Amino acid sequence: MVARLKKPRQVNTSEDKLSIPKICGIETEYGIIAKGMDSSAVTASSLLINSYVGRFDKSIGWDFEDEQPGSDARGFSLDDSFPAEIEMHLVNTVLTNGARYYVDHAHPEVSTPECRYVDEALIYDRAGEEIIRQSMVAAKGFLPEGAELIAYKNNSDGKGNSYGCHENYLLARDLSFSKMAALITTHFVTRQIFCGAGKVGTEFEGMAHNSIAYQLSQRADFFEEEVGLETTLKRPIVNTRDEPHCDPLKYRRLHVIVGDANMSEVATFLKLGTTAILLAMIEDNQFSESLLLTNPVPAIRAISHDPTLRQKIHLQDGRQLTALEIQYELCERAEVYAKNYGLEAVGQQTGEQVLRRWRNVLDGLKQDPITVAHIVDWVAKKRIIDGLTQRHNLSDRDIKLKAIDLQYHDMRPEKCLALRVGLETLVSQTSALKAAVSPPETTRAYFRGMCLTKWPQDVVAANWDSVVFDIGSGPLRRIPMMEPLRGTKAMTQELFGRCTTSAELVAALGDDVSTSSFAPTN
């Protein structure tokens, strides 16, 4: 149960501790090209995913019943905002590891299952990469000789088109959204110094592409608002989509669209970990307002456009600080918070690792960014760009540099540059491959994944907060999963051991099961 956390052990006696477990996940839209064949991006994405799910007996459809992407956290709703997939019948599946694998607009997207800890979410993000790689290999079997589908884990094509890598964090419903948004913006604007994926040139409207040689972030050029509902136009630094995919009276899901997709595992770990800790601090009212920014939209771009990290930005308290200085303050406050409140919202042990690595990466950036080339994507990429520029006497506007930028994110192991630059890894290949098929054990994703593993023929559809069964007689049965921390392995292992059919499962769950109006569309 997600009751309010008990007071942590070594902690002060604060009665106002409100932070809830920071359940999290990542949605990654991959770039895709069809080489040696004529194909639209939508067709290529569908083919990629179908090649993967076609290897299994039956793919499970997504249930759209509870989708409300037009719902705004500020309390209103867009009319007629149904997910496009409903009308277009695009490929949309749920995997046995609890993830969603589907075509979003014109991209293949993997949404990791919900994870209790950020290091688990990292493993499932890596699993997503392996799923994409396996899909590319499987697709070759359906394509003409010499043709292939190639996916890229990046966020822009260098021509003004961007696609996202979104993070999600569980928040308490009674937290003031506007206050949270203002506070976390400071982190979203400055964290790119260690989780930016690096980009050659700029795509900011009105600037010539080559007016900037290199910048920290793939995405910073595309943000035009501080807070808002959009994700494809006038993108906001804080997205207000209010679609918790769980009990809406108790929870929010913060849908973060501002980040880059990382090739560096440590960068992904830090991106999730630092954000989750700061969100817990905001819930516990331990995030000082003295770090509010005056003008975040130009600031996110200005920081990205300066790889020397000397750019200063204005704070509301009158100070002008660099992103690095602001990150040091955030890190120090998080360290104090950890001492006083504990880190149970993110897991004590995981949280301590996050804090250690956070300080280390800041120290490295301060000393000389090259010292963190094994951790920070923009540094790793810049290192080979600078190296090849010097070796081949290239201009800093040479198109070869843009090719390096793109190929850094190539998902083919034989072509991927990120796999060659000496990035430190945290996830073994064995763990990533296991996570591609098995669900995490610490959230309801375990229940979803186990249902799909044990009874794929009986699951008609599934989504984040329910599984729909056809047990062979009577109406379809919907099992709601409105509590993200229910349905864990600890809570359901015995149930899955005992039930040999889905009908037995439905009978065992009794009153928790409702009949469903879900009508499969394919």
Residues marked active site are found at 104
Name the residue nearer to another protein (CB basis): 25 or 484. 25
Supply the minimum distance, in Å, between the C-beta of residue 41 and another protein: 5
Query: Segment near another protein (CB under 8 A), from 169-177, 348-356, 459-467, 483-491?
Result: 348-356
Residue with tokens 């793109």: 406
Supply the minimum distance, in Å, between the C-beta of residue 430 and another protein: 10
Supply the minimum distance, in Å, between the C-beta of residue 487 and another protein: 26
Site for another protein in 235-274 (CB under 8 A): 235, 257
Query: Segment near another protein (CB under 8 A), from 171-179, 208-216, 371-379, 481-489?
Result: 371-379
Per rule CB under 8 A, is residue 43 in the interface with another protein? no
Name the residue nearer to another protein (CB basis): 164 or 484. 164
**d(Cα 409, Cα 29) in Å, to the nearest integer?**
12
Among 26, 189, 281, 372, binds another protein (CB under 8 A): 372
Name the residue nearer to another protein (CB basis): 231 or 340. 231
**d(Cα 438, Cα 510) in Å, to the nearest integer?**
26
Per rule CB under 8 A, is residue 83 in the interface with another protein? no
Q: Is 55 helix (H, G, I), strand (E, B) or coil?
A: coil
Query: Segment near another protein (CB under 8 A), from 56-64, 159-167, 181-189, 331-339?
Result: 159-167
Query: Segment near another protein (CB under 8 A), from 126-134, 336-344, 467-475, 480-488?
Result: 126-134
Supply the minimum distance, in Å, between the C-beta of residue 423 and another protein: 6
For residue 40 the two structure tokens come to 């639209």
Query: Segment near another protein (CB under 8 A), from 273-281, 285-293, 359-367, 498-506?
Result: 359-367
Site for another protein in 415-454 (CB under 8 A): 415-417, 419-426, 428-429
Site for another protein in 163-202 (CB under 8 A): 163-164, 166
Site for another protein in 378-417 (CB under 8 A): 383-384, 387-388, 391, 399-400, 402-404, 406-407, 413-417
Name the residue nearer to another protein (CB basis): 208 or 519. 208
Name the residue nearer to another protein (CB basis): 297 or 495. 297
Find, among 242, 254, 263, the residue nearest to 283 by Cα: 254
**d(Cα 217, Cα 196) in Å, to the nearest integer?**
4
Among 106, 302, 437, 476, binds another protein (CB under 8 A): 106
Name the residue nearer to another protein (CB basis): 226 or 284. 226
**d(Cα 201, Cα 210) in Å, to the nearest integer?**
5
Count CB-CB contacts under 10 A for residue 385. Answer: 23
Phi-psi sector, 328: left (phi>0), alpha (psi -120 to 50), beta: alpha
Supply the minimum distance, in Å, between the C-beta of residue 167 and another protein: 13
Site for another protein in 201-240 (CB under 8 A): 231-232, 235
Q: Are 189 and 303 in contact (CB under 8 A)?
A: yes
Q: Is 339 helix (H, G, I), strand (E, B) or coil?
A: helix
β partners of residue 147: none
Count Cα neighbours of 243 within 13 Å in the Cβ-side half-sphere. 22
Q: What secondary structure letter does DSSP report for 246?
A: S
Supply the minimum distance, in Å, between the C-beta of residue 398 and another protein: 8
Q: Are 470 and 71 in contact (CB under 8 A)?
A: no
Per rule CB under 8 A, is residue 347 in the interface with another protein? no
Per rule CB under 8 A, is residue 41 in the interface with another protein? yes
**d(Cα 208, Cα 483) in Å, to the nearest integer?**
49
- Total chain residues near another protein (CB under 8 A): 71
Count CB-CB contacts under 10 A for residue 424. Answer: 11
Site for another protein in 6-35 (CB under 8 A): 29, 31-33
**d(Cα 313, Cα 326) in Å, to the nearest integer?**
10
Q: Is 144 helix (H, G, I), strand (E, B) or coil?
A: coil
Q: Label the pairing between strands 312-314 and 320-322.
A: antiparallel
From residue 362, give the alpha-carbon distance in Å to each of 247, 356, 375. 38, 10, 11
Residue with tokens 């918790």: 244
Name the residue nearer to another protein (CB basis): 78 or 507. 78
Residue with tokens 């049965």: 477
Supply the minimum distance, in Å, between the C-beta of residue 70 and another protein: 14
